[in-house]
Structure formats: structure tokens, C-alpha cells
Amino acid sequence: MMSAPGHCRPLPAAQTLGTALAALLLPAVLLPAPVDAADLILAGGHVYTAEAAMPRAEAVVVDGHRIVFVGSAEEAMAYRTADTRVIDTNGKMVMPGFHDAHLHTFMGGRSVTGCDVASASDVPAVEAILQTCAAQLQQQWLIAEGLNLGLFGQAGPTLDWLDSISSEVPVLLRASDGHSVAANSLGLQLAQISRETEDPPAGLIERDDNGAPSGTLRESAMALVERHIPTISREQRMATMRAAVREMNRFGLTSVFDAWVGSTDIAMFRAMDEQGALSLRVRAALAYGHGELFTQDSPDVYERQLRDRDSLSTDRFKLAAVKLFIDGVLEGETAALVSPYLGNPGYRGELTYPQDELNRIVADLVGRDIQVYTHALGDGGVRSILDALEFAQQTHGPKDLRPSISHLQLIHPDDQHRFAALGAVANFQALWALPDEWIINLNLPVVGIDRVHRMYPIASIVATGAMIVGGSDWSVSSLNPLDAIEVAVLRQDWLANDDLPTDQLNQLDVLNRSERVSLDTMLRAYTINAAWAMHQDQETGSLAAGKLADLVVLSEDLFAIPPQRISTVRVEHTFVDGEQVYPIAAGAR
């Protein structure tokens, strides 16, 4: 670590007086320059450090891969030489690079490189995008990402609408939640799905009144169609992954947790890092490899990867966790609940694993010092994984593994205190914490208003002292951390409120006003907290001398604008290891 200017070794006593007198006789311009120089100085605006001891500064100095100084602009300029790059951040904000604690790189890349309907606000808009994609079709299937199920009924898209998209080519529309797909008649025929096809374990084929498939397939039933999709080449997959990483850098992401990987993803990440194309840090959760559901590799391959996780890791890619799906989602009623779904007496959804089996799985992973990373959306699913973590703690004693529970749409009030007690990370996708068409049209009818008012209890979990982190679940929803941060602060539509003055924000509906949190809370969730959850808080997540130079420059100071404008702020620069990765210089890879 380099010294700050003016902090030198003490002189021997015999030299002190003479040196001091000589200094007094020199003009100010001839005072000794600091022994340290810098490659980069960012100064002039608000520096948000995410450091409790010094949360705010004026400048950051970078030399090589690391930060060498954080403090005043005047002191920072003492590091300047003729070769130092200086970025004037007046009116802007410098902060640690964003850490997205839950996303899916390949699926996100598909949304960038393929046909994506996530931006469609209504069904006609979906149709318009699909028509454009169909006109440009260069493959056997019309495949689209990001379908908003909130635009349809409880049963999802049906064949009459799906066949209107195309009756000439098979159509596959992937829902944005990642838990269902919709196929037209030709797609169902090619997949050999008919009235006689039984629902697979933990899967559902939506059917019409006569028992025939109506077009939507949920959970494990998705594989009945997906396995008939033409495979892509290694080169195509690599191009998709590279596009995803570039998109992450564009939104200021310097570290991510890829929430569900298999052998193909691991090979891609390793190759990208070897080629110098992995311009951020990736911590990955290996898909659990036993059972019939949510696996990516055979049990033998899974166990080999788990055993060799250290040797499979690289400088910027760490294979260090295992992903378990505890339940499904509320739409389709596959999430596990403590109390039954409305209109379905006694039915509480489904757990992927019986409790005894889950206890054994989690205890085995903890015993091998592997971080447990889970999907749990219903309060029954959340309780189940908390019970399993408690069982593992009783079996092996406390360990600093930082298990992560993602989504958390519902947490029973009786379980909220257990996160802190068990050292479990509450991994929220805050962009979902607003009264949108998913919650109003799909969730409210099946769980009722009382449980809707308990959804995404971010402030309640913060109040317990538990660690919260932020993630996008991209491609499920917007990759932009500022979108999710604004929603967590206001709990309302982050697009509809852009032009409203602060005193008129109440014109928009709010999802449980008491669960709003501060801007600082969410910035920490996306920086130092998420870095802690990724076991890299000693190196990243905050701006401090000695840490890696992973940082971003925002176009405006988030603390100086109305909260409804947070999502309008742009990332101007993204740096990883002191190297600018966004915008990419002309001619760079």
C-alpha cells in the first residue's frame, strides 16, 4: 500500500532541526513532491465510499490495480504527474462498483442477443416485437425471452393467441420469471405434448376445459419443449456470454453472483478469463446435481466439479457455492406457503425436497465448507431452508459460510429474526417490490391482500440486523441496479414516477410503505454487503486505500436528486482492477 502525501518515515533526531529550517527557507512551490504517483485520479464530486469510518470523500486515487488514496481533492492532486489521467467528477458521484448478488449470465445474454419482449407494456406491443423477430427469423423456431405473464390470465398464454403469432414455425416464449414457457400448436406437436401427456414430477401442463394442453408449461414441464430447441454452437454461446458481460459493465457491475451454473457455463467463464474477456468478477453457484429437478449435469459430473472447485476457479471466476431450488413461484401456485392458497383448500404449494432430505443435503454441503445458495420465494419455502440451515448449524456448529436465500417474496413474521441468528444473507430482488400487474393480477387472487402487504419485507429484515444484499435475477428483470434501488426506496413504479414532483408521488400506488428503506441501505446492499456475501469484502465493495480499484462514475449525485430520479442516472465509467471496462476504448476486445 502506498503512503499518503506528507506521511513519511520520521527523520533521525539529529536531522530534524536542520531539515525543518531548510524547509522554512524554501518557497512553497519547491516543497518535496510525494514519492507516490498515480495512474488515475477521480476528483471534484461526491465520493460514496461504503466505508463506515469515512462514508464520504472528494477524491479517489488509483495506481495500477489498487486504490492508493481516498480523501480530499487537494491531497489527491499531490499524486498527479504528467502521465496521470484525471477525471473531473464535479456534479457526479463516484462509488464502489455495483455487486449483483443474483443473476444468470447466459440467460441474460440471450435477452441481449436474441428476441426479447420484456419491454412490451401490453399484449399488442408483445405481438409487434414478435412480428419483427419473425420477419428476421434465421432459425427453425421463433424463440423469445422476457414474456410478461402479468399481461395474461392465471393460466398464462393460450393456444388461440399463440397460434396467431405463427402457424408456420414453432413458437417458444420464455416467461420473464424463468419458471414457465408457452408454445404454439406446432411447438407442442414437435415436442409430442398431447392430451395424453402426463404432468412430469414438480411440473404442470396448463390445460383447457377439455383436458388438452393450452400452451403454457410450468417448472419441470418446460423441459418437455426446451429439449427440442436446436442447440447452439460453442462460438454462439461464447458470443452470448461476452454480450452479457459487456451489458453488465454498461450498468456499472464489477462483481456478480451467477446463480445457477453447470459444466458448460464453467467452461465458458474459464475461457473468457483466459482470453481477457471476463471484465468483472464472477462467483458462481453450481446447480445441485442429484434428483430429477433443476439439475444441469449428471451426478458424477456434479460431484467431480464440486471436488475440483478450487482448480476450476480462475482469477476472476470462483466456483464456490451450490444452488438449491426450495420451491417455485406464486404464479402457477408452485411456491410453498405456510398457509394454503386461496380457492384451493389445504393446498400449500410444493417443496422441491422433503424437509428431512433438505436437512441432509444442506448439512452435507456445510460439512464440506461449501456456501449454500438457494431460491426460496414462498414463506413455506423460506421456513424450510431456514430449518435446514439450523439443522446444519446444530450438526456442525457455526461456520462463516454466508448462506444466501434469494427472492423472499414472502417471509413469515415468525421467521424474520432467524436470518441474523443463522448468519443467512437475505438476497432481495427489490425491483419486484411494487404493486405491478404480477402482484395485482396473478398473486393477489391466490394469496389475498394480507399476504400481499407482507411481500418483500426489506425494512423488516434490516431492522433485525440481518445482512441484506441486492440482485436483479437478470434476465428475469432489469439489470440496472439503480432501477431496483429506486423501487426499494419508494416501493412504486420506477418508470411512471419519473416526471412527478416529490409532493405528487402519492398519486402512484405503493406496496407497503412501511417497508421502504433508505438510499444508503440499498447502496450498501449493492456494494459492501454483496461483496461480503461473495466472500470478497476484504478486496472489493468499498473505496479504501489498498482495495482493488473496482469503481463507477455516475452522471449525477444520487443524494442530491429526488428519489424518483434515481433510475434516470447513468453510469459514465466502469473500472475493474483500475482498467476502464465501460465505455470500451475503440479497438479493444
In the predicted model, is pLDDT for residue 36 greater than 50? yes
CB-based contact 173:162 (threshold 8 Å): yes
| Structural domain includes residue 528 | yes
Predicted confidence (pLDDT) per residue in 142-169, tens digit:
999 999 999 998 889 999 999 999 989 9
- Lowest-confidence region among 5-14, 74-83, 441-450, 518-527: 5-14
**pLDDT value at position 9?**
30
Does residue 510 or residue 2 have the better pLDDT?
510
Residue 17 CB contacts under 8 Å (≥ 6 apart), including other chains: none
Q: What is the CATH number of the domain that holds 171?
A: 3.10.310.70
pLDDT at 88: 98
Set of cell numbers at residue 557:
449525485
Q: Given the C-alpha cell 428483470, which residue does it identify?
A: 477
- The three cell numbers of residue 44 are 471534484
- Flag whether 495 is in a domain: yes
pLDDT beyond 90 at 13: no
452 three-state secondary structure: helix
Q: Is residue 559 part of a domain?
A: no
Of the candidates 495, 493, 510, 476, the residue with the CA atom closest to the CA atom of residue 174: 476
Q: C-alpha 564: how far from its chain's center?
A: 21
Residues 189 and 287 in one domain: no
Mean pLDDT, rounded, for 5-11: 33
In the chain, DSSP finds a helix count (H) and a strand count (E) of 21, 22
Model confidence band, residue 293 (pLDDT cutoffs 50, 70, 90) = confident
Q: Cα separation of 409 and 53, whole Å?
A: 33
Contact 479, 472 (CB under 8 A): yes
Residue range 379-391: mean pLDDT, rounded: 98
Kindly tell me the burial class for residue 35, based on how many C-beta atoms sit within 10 Å of its own C-beta (0-12, 13-18, 19 or more). exposed
Residue predicted with more confidence, 587 or 420: 420
Q: Of 241-245, 290-294, 348-352, 571-575, which gets the smallest average pLDDT?
A: 290-294
- Domain check: are 469 and 444 in the same one? yes
The more confidently predicted of residues 3 and 164 is: 164
Whether the per-residue pLDDT at 32 is higher than 60: the answer is: no
* Radius of gyration from C-alpha coordinates of the chain: 26
- Whole-angstrom distance, CA of residue 563 vs CA of residue 576: 28
Asked if residue 15 belongs to a domain, the reply is no
Please tell me the total count of domains within the chain: 2
Q: Is residue 2 part of a domain?
A: no
DSSP 507: G
Residues 188 and 261 in one domain: no
Terminal CA-to-CA distance of the chain, rounded, Å?
Answer: 31
Q: Which residues touch 502 (CB under 8 Å, ≥6 apart)?
A: 562, 563, 564
Which pLDDT does position 332 carry in this prediction? 83
Average pLDDT over residues 254-278: 98
Q: What is the CATH number of the domain that holds 468?
A: 3.20.20.140
Reply yes or no on whether the pLDDT at 428 is more than 90. Answer: yes
In this prediction, residue 26 carries a pLDDT of 35
Of the candidates 191, 451, 220, the one whose C-alpha atom is nearest the C-alpha of residue 332 is: 220
Boundary (domain end) residue, out of 195, 226, 257: 226
Tell which residue, 309, 259, 257, has the closest CA to residue 280: 257
State the Cα–Cα distance between residues 584 and 579, nearest whole angstrom. 10
Contact 470/481 with Cβ under 8 angstroms? Answer: yes
Please classify residue 310 by burial: count the beta carbons closer than 10 Å to its beta carbon, then call 0-12 exposed, 13-18 middle and 19+ buried.
exposed
Same-domain pairing of 207 and 304: no
Q: Does one domain contain both 277 and 218? A: no
State the pLDDT confidence band at 586, using cuts at 50, 70 and 90. low
Whole-number pLDDT of residue 202: 80
Angle at 471 between CA 351 and CA 116, to 5 degrees: 90
pLDDT confidence of residue 412? 98
Are 279 and 321 found together in one domain? yes
Q: What's the DSSP call for residue 35?
A: S
Position 420 in a domain: yes
Same domain assignment for residues 298 and 262: yes
pLDDT higher than threshold 70 for residue 235? yes
Per-residue confidence (pLDDT) for residue 31, from 0 to 100: 34
Name the residue range of residue 146's domain.
140-226
Average pLDDT of the segment spanning 373-385: 98
Asked if residue 531 is part of any domain, the answer here is yes
**Given this model, what pLDDT does residue 589 score?**
53
Report d(CA 125, CA 583) in Å as an integer: 31
Whether residue 168 is found in the same domain as residue 301: no
Residue range 243-256: mean pLDDT, rounded: 98
The mean per-residue pLDDT over the stretch 240-260 comes to 98
State percent of the chain over pLDDT 70. 93
Residue 523 exposed, middle or buried by CB count within 10 Å (0-12, 13-18, 19+)? buried
| 47, containing H or E segment | strand 40-48
Claim to verify: residue 176 and residue 267 sit in the same structural domain: no
User: What distance lies between CA 203 and its chain's CA centroid?
Assistant: 26
What is the four-CA torsion angle of 406, 408, 414, 417, rounded to 10 degrees?
A: 50
- On average, the pLDDT of the chain sits at 92
Of the residues 226, 258, 278, which one is the last residue of a structural domain?
226
Last residue of a domain, one of 226, 250, 273: 226
Over range 495-499, report the average pLDDT: 94
For residues 351 and 222, membership in a common domain is answered with no
Reply yes or no on whether the pLDDT at 21 is more than 70. Answer: no
Q: Is the pLDDT of residue 417 over 90?
A: yes
Collapsing DSSP states into helix, strand and coil, what is residue 406? strand
Say how many C-beta atoms besides its own lie within 10 A of residue 53's C-beta.
7
Peptide bond into 583 cis (omega under 30): yes
**Domain-located, residue 558:** no
Rounded Cα–Cα distance for residues 490 and 517 (Å): 8
- 533-570 pLDDT, tens digit each: 999 999 999 999 999 999 999 999 999 999 999 999 99
Q: How far apart are CA 211 and CA 202, in angstroms?
A: 19
Q: Indicate the pLDDT class of residue 64, thresholds 50, 70 and 90.
A: very high
Instruction: Report how far residue 270's alpha carbon sits from residue 261's, in angstroms, rounded to the nearest whole number.
Output: 13
Give the pLDDT confidence score for residue 266 in this predicted structure: 98
Q: Look-up: residue for cell 460514496?
A: 48
**Same domain, yes or no, for 443 and 325?**
yes
Tell me which of 49-63, 72-86, 137-151 is least confident.
137-151
Would you state the pLDDT for residue 3? 35
Asked whether residue 14 carries a pLDDT value surpassing 50, the answer given is no
- Does the pLDDT value for residue 454 go beyond 90? yes
Closest CA to 303 of 313, 316, 293, 290: 290
Q: Do 249 and 207 fall into the same domain?
A: no
Q: What is the DSSP string of 81-147?
A: -TT-EEEE-TTSEEEEPEEEEEE-HHHHHHHHHSEE-TT--SHHHHHHHHHHHHHT--SSSEEEEEE
